[in-house]
Amino acid sequence: MAQATLTPHELTLHGHRVTYRTAGRGPVLVLLHGITGSSQTWEHVAPLLSARFTLIAPDLLGHGQSATPRGDYSLGAHASGVRDLLTALGHERVTVIGHSLGGGIAMQFAYQFPERCERLALVSSGGLGPEVHLLLRAAALPGADYVLPLITSSRLLGLGRDLGGVLRRARLAPGGDLQVLARGFASLDNTGSRQAFLHTVRAVIDPGGQRVNAHDRLRLAALFPSLIVWGERDSIIPVAHGAAAHAAMPGSRLEIFPAAGHMPHDADPDRFAAVLTDFCHTTDGARLTADHWQPLLAGGS
């Protein structure tokens, strides 16, 4: 049977264009990309997963081909947007997989909407410790609004090559991660995308690093089957964050890809698809209610 590639769609939610890609048939996997990314982040692994799963990969608001409104780009707002998309498409319960920023959104989705989340998979996830790449911390600095149009101009970037050369010479990122950063900044080619990027970064990062940290709630993740995947050579978010999260999430599964950087699902899509498929097939999806946290919160936990 031929394996499907991701097919683009769009709809309007709350007056804003939301684009998303779908493929396959079976239990639903929601694939959430990282900052400056898009649903195309998953294009190499999607054909391997679509034989067994329904894939839904949105362009988060402010990213890809989705709208870039002036508004709320917090993790909570993104999580609500994912919930609204799933509601519009008629999907009740899903396994949510988040890469980088998408990992933080996935955790927030599970916390805000436990009744919609069956499993949680974090891929080189944000929100698990302060350390993060210097360029992302720099975006939180005063004045970044004025510098960003200069370093993301098509003339200067040359599709990311010039920025890549700068990063290489400054030793700010090794091979694969350098290209991730260069492509991401090259995608910020208009005022709307740049402003959405800055609002998104500043919602979770300040000049000292990541300021949103899920560690005080990771114990709750024991109620969801949880998978953590990381690239051992990740220079954007260190692999130590994954190990620490694994220790704090009882029953979680940790997979380290030795030759991968910040994009383990792209560096080794065959292994990623095999690991994710095995995780889904060997775990029972959670069945929680919308008010599941109430006894814990009422007890001061």
**Can 262 be counted among the known catalytic residues?**
yes
**pLDDT recorded at residue 170:** 47
Please report where in the chains the tokens 């990027």 appear, as a residue: 197
Res. 165 pLDDT band, cuts 50 70 90: low
**Can 80 be counted among the known catalytic residues?**
no
Q: Give alpha helix (H) positions in 59-190.
A: 75-89, 101-112, 134-138, 144-151, 154-157, 161-169, 175-186
> Does position 189 have pLDDT exceeding 90, yes or no?
no
Amino acid at 113: F
| 180-208 residues labelled b (16+ CB within 10 A) or e (exposed) | bbbbbbbbbeeeebbbbbbbbbbbbbeee
Report CA-CA distances (Å) from 237 to 32, 149, 240, 288: 17, 25, 9, 31
> Does position 167 have pLDDT exceeding 90, yes or no?
no
The yes/no answer on whether domain 7-131+212-298 falls in CATH 3.40.50.1820 is yes
Q: Can you tell me the distance from the alpha carbon of 168 to that of 141, in angstroms, rounded to the nearest whole number?
A: 22
Given 80, 100, 125, 252, the catalytic residue:
100
Query: DSSP assignment of 65-100, as one string?
Result: TS---SS--SHHHHHHHHHHHHHHHT---EEEEEET
pLDDT tens digits for range 247-274: 999 899 999 999 899 999 999 999 999 9
Given 33, 78, 99, 262, the catalytic residue:
262
**Can 226 be counted among the known catalytic residues?**
no
**pLDDT recorded at residue 153:** 57
| Residue intervals in the chain for CATH 3.40.50.1820 | 7-131+212-298
Mean pLDDT of the region 286-292: 93
